[in-house]
Amino acid sequence: MAYDEHLGDRISIQLEQKKITFQAKKMFGGLCFMVNDKMCVGINGDTLMIRIDPELEKELKLKEGVRDMNFTGRPMKGFLYVNPEAIDNEEGLRYFIDKALEYNPIAKSSKKKKK
């Protein structure tokens, strides 16, 4: 599945403006932005994916355009999809990126440690 390259550019610009070091990686048929070697935000088609504090899921899902990330067929705890309408302006996109960045320092890395 192709991903929205314009949305990718918008995310990159916001992260650069915040002076966040990140890597963009093609994953899951989309694009993921890794911060501190951890998945932080991503794009699946034209939909934003955010990794947030699982305690905020219920609150954030009350916002229009936010839903469970069910990439595998069942909801993934701590991950949400945000529809394009909710991020059509920079303020909306910034809000959701900020939520993901707030959680990033305490999120667990899935990177395998070398023995």
Tens-digit pLDDT string for the chain (115 aa):
589 999 999 999 999 999 999 999 998 789 999 999 999 999 999 999 999 999 999 999 999 999 999 877 888 899 999 999 999 999 999 999 999 999 999 998 876 655 5
CATH number, domain at 61?
A: 3.90.1150.30
Give the domain extent around 43.
Answer: 5-106
* Model confidence pTM above 0.75: yes
42 part of a folded domain: yes
> Sign (positive/negative) of CA torsion 25, 110, 10, 46?
positive
97 part of a folded domain: yes
88 part of a folded domain: yes
Nearest to 63 by CA among 89, 91, 90, 96: 96
113 part of a folded domain: no
Domain count, the chain: 1
Give, for 81, the enclosing helix (H) or strand (E): strand 79-82
